[in-house]
Amino acid sequence: MATQADMSRAQALAGRYRSVRALSEAIAAPLSDADATLQPMPDASPAKWHLAHTSWFFETFVLRDHVPGHRLYDESWAYLFNSYYEGEGERHPRARRGMLSRPSLGEILAWRAYVDSAMAEAMPGLAEAALTLVELGLNHEQQHQELMLMDLTAALAENPLHPPLWPGTAPAPAPLASGMEWVGGRAGLAAIGHGGSGFAFDCEGPRHRALLHPHALADRLVTNAEWLAFIGEGGYARPEYWMADGWAWAMENRIEAPLYWSRADGGWRRFALDGMRPLAPSEPVCHISWYEADAFARWAGARLPREEEWEAAAAGMDAAGGNQLDGAGPVRPRPASGTGLRQMFGDLWEWTMSAYAPWPGFRPQGGTVGEYNGKFMCNQFVLRGGSCATPRGHLRASYRNFFYPHQRWMFSGLRLARDL
């Protein structure tokens, strides 16, 4: 039974639901069915799979489980669009999602409309437990919006014509970043992790104390110009800067530059959703793996931040500020501006030296949705701060993103740190 508080919460969530779902479809609006079916690598998913999976989430965990009498749009589609929820049974192999030519993009959009209509009708009567799942689903869909942009970049980069998803104008030339400044970080015991009211993923908590040793953080992200210096000094060919696994990865895959970089006419270009453009030296370096970030930090005589250091520095900052996603269109990191610690939120996810592991006292959420984060706490590293492709309003200082150390198709960069 929904209480008055539940109905007030449902009204607020209904507005967010409409805007979040609309943004997903706006991102997909320029796509043909062929575009939306491409899967450029096993780690990526087709755009129409993202559109379908997020609808499956709402139809399964909210409508099926909390709305008596709801009729599933197509019972067979659960097998196609479940991601990794073992509690929901068998599913189509992730690496073969690009073989799903059917259902078509149009059919998936029709399913989304069906789910949206059912959600709009059900929302006012949902009780607290169901509304909590709606909020989780909205944050889950925002994650998939960024994943769609990542995966579309990877897909279009495979086309020799390097077509843009959205036409864009070349940014005005920006002056090279000033010399990197160091900002002393907090030392001693610091409260870390999410606590109190407001949404957070289970892996962000509980709130606990961490011991921080004297350190400093760079005031901005590392730039393309600084990365070019790393390349120029043989950074990709000098094993003393690399972890053993990273060196083996770089040699096996002939890694010589960040993902989507290519040489042309004696210089460098980069591919993004606005097409192929000359490399902008003042912009933050993007699409790098943890292995590359760690090697650069060693070359620079520094290290990557620990995630506790990053969170302590970001506490109290405006997590909705900075260069983040406000609508469908080209996304790109921007040169640093202002003073003090800059680019802490938005622009690029920042690799840390911290392994993705549970905070002290961590307990995953109950039920099948408890598979969301906890079971991935193995062999991955944490990134902090969000990116230009992260929907605005999605971030918090406690937000923990995570990827494997060799992955780099996400909007990833780095900020240096050093011990004092």
Q: Is 48 in the same domain as 135? A: yes
Confidence of residue 1 (pLDDT cuts 50, 70, 90): low
Please check the confidence at residue 174 and state whether its pLDDT lies above 70: no
User: Burial code of 218-232, b = ≥16 C-beta within 10 A, e = fewer?
Assistant: bbbbbbbebbbebbe
Look at residue 340 and tell me if it is in a domain. Answer: yes
**129/176: higher pLDDT:** 129
192 and 286 inside one domain: yes
- Residues 322, 191: one domain? yes
For 18-64, the pLDDT digits (tens) are 999 999 999 999 999 999 999 999 999 999 999 999 999 999 999 99
- On the CB side of 337, CA atoms within 13 Å amount to 10
Domain boundary among 157, 173, 195: 157
Q: Rounded mean pLDDT of 71-86?
A: 93
Q: How far apart, in whole angstroms, are the C-alpha atoms of residue 60 and residue 367?
A: 13
- Is 173 a domain residue? no
28 and 127 belong to one structural domain = yes
Do 112 and 187 have their domain in common?
no
Checking if the pLDDT of 178 tops 80, the result is no
- The answer on 35 and 75 residing in a single domain is yes
The structural domain count of the chain equals 2
Q: What is the CATH number of the domain that holds 63?
A: 1.20.120
Residue 195: CB atoms within 10 A of its CB come to 14
pLDDT of residue 170: 67
CA distance linking residue 316 with residue 324, whole number of Å: 18
Whether 165 is in a domain gets the answer no
Give the Å distances, CA to CA, from 13 to 119, 197, 271: 11, 16, 37
- Average pLDDT (229-253) is 98
Q: At residue 190, does pLDDT exceed 70?
A: yes
Q: Indicate the Cα dihedral angle 336, 339, 344, 348, nearest 10°.
A: 10
Of 140, 157, 174, which marks where a domain is finished? 157
Which range has the worst mean pLDDT, 39-48, 168-177, 287-296, 357-366? 168-177
Dihedral angle, C-alpha 200, 206, 209, 211, nearest 10 °: -70
Q: Determine if residue 300 is left, alpha or beta; phi over 0 gives left, psi from -120 to 50 gives alpha, anything else beta.
A: alpha
187 and 153 belong to one structural domain: no
pLDDT at residue 265, as a whole number: 85
**Which of 141, 157, 173 is the C-terminal boundary of a domain?**
157
Q: Do the domain assignments include residue 164? A: no
Per the structure, the complete domain to which residue 188 belongs is given by 182-419
Q: What is the pTM of this model?
A: 0.95
- 267 domain residue, yes or no: yes
Amino acid at 400: R
Nearest to 110 by CA among 145, 74, 57: 74
Rounded to 5°, the CA angle 269-274-275 comes to 45
Looking at the structure, tell me whether residues 213 and 137 fall in a common domain.
no
Contacts of 249 (CB under 8 A, 6+ apart): 255, 289, 291, 406
124 and 10 housed in the same domain: yes
* Residue 251 belongs to domain with CATH number: 3.90.1580.10
**Angle at alpha carbon of residue 35, lines to 33 and 36, rounded to 5°:** 65
CB-CB contact of 271 with 157 (8 Å): yes
Q: What is the DSSP string of 321-363?
A: -SS-B-SSS--------SSSS--SSSSSEEEEEEE--PPTT--
State residue 175's pLDDT score.
66
Residue 217 within a domain: yes
- Asked if 112 and 198 sit in the same domain, the reply is no
Percent of the chain with pLDDT over 70: 97
Q: Which amino acid is at 236?
A: Y
Q: How far is CA 109 from CA 26, 116, 153, 357, in A?
A: 12, 10, 21, 37
pLDDT band at 371 (very low <50, low <70, confident <90, very high): low
Per DSSP, 60 falls in state I
**CA-based R_g, the chain, Å:** 22
Phi and psi at residue 349, in whole multiples of 5°? -65, 135
Is residue 177 assigned to a domain? no
Average pLDDT in the 251-262 region? 98
Confidence at residue 4, expressed as pLDDT on a 0 to 100 scale: 78
Q: Is 104 contained in some domain?
A: yes
- From the list 183, 180, 178, the residue with the least C-alpha distance to 340 is 183
**Same domain, yes or no: 193 and 331:** yes
Instruction: Identify whether residues 52 and 97 lie together within a single domain.
Output: yes
